[in-house]
Structures are given as structure tokens and as C-alpha cells.
């Protein structure tokens, strides 16, 4: 059934789910949401199975005309969501009625918001996913960001009302996050460069999108006499590439291969912090061991379980 009509698409709004996995060997990147934690919670709140497609809005959200009564939940960065000009609470499921107007007044905190709808956004899956991959022209609506006049369909299920995330469990999106990293896979191409990398502040440049975040800061130097590039290899989301100019790039989920050295990799638990950083924000890096990263991963999964229990128990 038709759920929304797009009155204004916003800066960059796409339909995404958890991602398209298993196709990187063919040159197709995973895509999917960049802030997986906020995404999963948005689906939980409206009573979805968990892997349904949602809208990912960036900085300036869309204006949507509601075509059908339903349940929505908005999570992620606070882009000031409004329903008919009244501010709309985030991190909880709320009803919308046919004829309502949903809009976003501008970014307050973070960079990307997720809008889930009970029943899930209904577009045909391609290679096992509904995620929009713009360069490959697949997924979402015609493989592109939303455009004015698009009509967005949803699945049959209505959804669950009155579900909310306890305030103390809502992620804080800092504008100067510290990202935990595991060194490598090519940290042996650097010596003092590693000190520069771990002890400096880097500014998010205006070149920050779903492919990657270019950062600006002190030059991270390679070891004398080593190659600054490697034989091209597939990218891992969170990989931090250092090209010959010494300015790092955090690779995200719409990358396939790269030929520059990667000094370190952001741990998966901290990828949402990257996705919520805006141009101008300041980033620092902190080295952790694999054991610590895996412990943090387990804690994050426990937190998610706690939120799920709290929502389904409420």
C-alpha cells in the first residue's frame, strides 16, 4: 500500500536495509544503513521483524505526505523531525494519519536519521537486499536517492504503538567522537605516522558520504622508502586509508576496492559514530586490541538485547 508521497526529497535520502552481502567478490559493495544500531532499533520500535527497509535521511531530511494510517519510529541523528509542524519525539513508535505532513527542520545532533514504518518499506529486493546502491543503479527506487513525487510503498503489517527506548540507553552522538581502532592491515608501512595518527585531532572535511569520510589534519607520513600504494584489494567498512598526501579517509559501505595503505580499521561498534559525524566535527583515534574490540562488540549486542527486552516488555 502507498504510505508516503515525497513532497521534498531532502539533501540525500535513500531506502536502505541491513545491506547486500555476498557480492563483494563481484564488485558490489554491501551498502545498507551506515548507522546499523539506530536502524535495528527503529525496526524494533514499530514491531518489524528486524531486516525491513527504512529511509536514511542525511542532514536535511525529506518532507513527506502521509497517504495511509500507520506507525513510524525515527532514530539516529536528531534532524528535528516534525509532524504537522509539531515536534515529533524520536526513539519511540508514534501513529501517523492519512493527510499528515512529516518534515525535518534541520540537524541538531548527528547527521543521519532513520525512519522505520510498521510493515517495512516495500521495494523489490535485488540480490537479496532492498538497499539503494546509487553507482550500481539498483535497490530502493530505481537505484537512486528519493526524488520529488516518488510514492513509497509499505508492507501490510500495521505496527506496534507506544514502544520507546529508555532515555538512558539512547546513543549520544558527539561532534568530537573518539573512534576505537585496530591497527592494520598495513600498519607496517608506517612508523612515526602511527604516533601522528593516534595523537592528533582530525577534522571531517566536506567530502564525507556513504563511500567514505575524508579527514583533514597533520600529515601522516609513511616509512621512508616504502610504497605508498598496495596491490588493490577489497575494502572493509571502517578501513582508514592513507593516500600519499597523508590525509586519512575512513572507508564506509559503498566502497569496493582500494589501492592505498590502510593504517588502521575502526571497530564495528564505533561505525555509527562515524556515520553521525558531520563536516567540521573533530575526530580522534584510540588504539584497542582485538580482544577489547570483541568484548565491546558483545557488550553492544547485550545493550541491544536489553533495549529489545525493554521494548517488548513495555
Partner 1 sequence: MEGWPRFLLAGDFGLLVEFGDKIDPEINKRVREIFITLEKFPIDGITEAVPTYRSILIFYDPLKTSPDQLQQKILALEKRSREVTIPPPETIEIPVVYGGDFGPDLGFVAEHNGLNQEEVIEIHTSGIYLIYMLGFTPGFPFLGGLSERLFTPRLKTPRDVVPAGSVGIANNQTGIYPIDSPGGWQLIGRTPIKLYDPKRENPILLKAGNYLRFKRITGAEYEEILQRS
The residues of the shown chain that bind partner 1, judged by CB under 8 A, are 21-28, 126-127, 135-138, 182-186, 231-234, 236-239, 256-257, 262, 265-269, 290, 293-294, 297-298, 301
Q: How far is the CB of 145 from partner 1 (least distance, A)?
A: 17
The whole-angstrom separation of Cα 262 and Cα 254 is 17
Instruction: Give the DSSP H or E segment for 75.
Output: strand 70-78
Q: How far is the CB of 65 from partner 1 (least distance, A)?
A: 30
Q: How far is the CB of 207 from partner 1 (least distance, A)?
A: 16
Q: How far is the CB of 282 from partner 1 (least distance, A)?
A: 22
DSSP H helical ranges for 141-208: 192-199
Q: Which residue has the cell 532513520?
A: 114
Q: Which of 82, 236 has the CB closer to partner 1? A: 236
Burial class (CB in 10 A: 0-12, 13-18, 19+), 81: buried
Contact between 232 and 259 under an 8 Å Cβ cutoff? The reply is yes
Q: How far is the CB of 23 from partner 1 (least distance, A)?
A: 8
The whole-angstrom separation of Cα 273 and Cα 178 is 8
Q: Which of 217, 258 has the CB closer to partner 1? A: 258
Q: How far is the CB of 162 from partner 1 (least distance, A)?
A: 31
Q: Which residue has the cell 526524488?
A: 147
> Greatest CA span in the chain, whole angstroms?
65
Q: Is 8 left (phi over 0), alpha (psi -120 to 50) or beta?
A: beta
Q: How far is the CB of 133 from partner 1 (least distance, A)?
A: 8
Q: Which of 4, 37 has the CB closer to partner 1? A: 37
Q: Which of 284, 300 has the CB closer to partner 1? A: 300
The whole-angstrom separation of Cα 68 and Cα 121 is 13
Q: Which of 108, 137 has the CB closer to partner 1? A: 137
151-153 and 2-8: which strand pairing? antiparallel
Q: Which of 87, 299 has the CB closer to partner 1? A: 299
Q: Which of 92, 270 has the CB closer to partner 1? A: 270
Contact between 163 and 90 under an 8 Å Cβ cutoff? The reply is no
Amino acid at each position: 500500500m502507498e504510505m508516503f508521497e515525497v513532497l521534498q526529497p531532502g539533501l540525500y535520502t535513500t531506502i536502505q536495509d541491513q545491506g547486500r552481502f555476498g557480492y563483494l567478490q563481484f564488485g558490489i559493495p554491501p551498502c545498507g544503513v551506515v548507522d546499523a544500531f539506530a536502524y535495528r532499533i527503529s525496526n524494533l520500535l514499530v514491531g518489524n521483524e528486524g531486516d525491513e527497509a527504512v529511509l536514511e535521511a542525511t542532514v536535511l531530511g525529506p518532507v513527506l505526505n502521509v497517504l495511509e494510517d500507520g506507525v513510524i519510529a525515527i532514530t539516529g541523528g536528531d534532524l528535528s523531525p516534525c509532524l504537522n509542524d509539531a515536534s515529533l519525539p524520536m526513539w519511540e513508535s508514534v501513529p501517523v494519519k492519512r493527510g499528515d505532513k512529516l518534515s525535518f527542520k534541520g540537524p541538531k545532533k548527528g547527521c543521519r536519521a532513520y525512519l522505520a514504518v510498521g510493515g517495512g518499506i516495500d521495494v523489490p529486493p535485488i540480490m537479496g537486499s532492498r538497499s539503494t546502491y546509487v553507482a550500481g543503479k539498483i535497490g530502493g527506487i530505481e537505484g537512486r536517492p528519493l526524488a520529488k513525487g516518488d510514492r513509497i510503498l509499505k508492507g501490510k503489517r500495521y505496527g506496534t504503538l507506544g514502544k520507546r527506548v529508555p532515555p538512558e540507553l539512547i546513543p549520544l552522538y558527539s561532534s568530537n567522537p573518539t573512534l576505537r581502532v585496530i591497527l592494520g592491515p598495513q600498519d607496517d608501512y608506517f612508523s612515526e605516522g602511527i604516533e601522528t595518527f593516534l595523537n592528533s585531532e582530525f577534522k571531517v572535511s566536506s567530502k564525507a558520504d556513504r563511500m567514505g569520510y575524508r579527514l583533514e589534519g597533520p600529515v601522516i607520513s609513511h616509512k621512508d622508502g616504502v610504497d605508498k600504494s598496495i596491490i588493490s584489494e577489497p575494502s572493509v567498512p571502517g578501513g582508514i586509508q592513507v593516500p600519499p598526501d597523508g590525509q586519512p579517509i575512513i572507508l564506509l559501505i559503498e566502497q569496493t576496492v582500494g589501492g592505498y595503505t590502510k593504517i588502521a580499521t575502526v571497530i564495528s561498534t564505533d561505525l555509527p559514530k562515524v556515520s553521525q559525524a558531520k563536516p567540521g566535527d573533530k575526530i580522534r583515534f584510540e588504539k584497542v586490541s582485538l580482544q577489547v574490540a570483541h568484548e565491546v562488540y558483545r557488550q553492544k549486542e547485550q545493550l541491544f538485547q536489553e533495549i529489545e527486552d525493554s521494548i517488548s516488555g513495555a
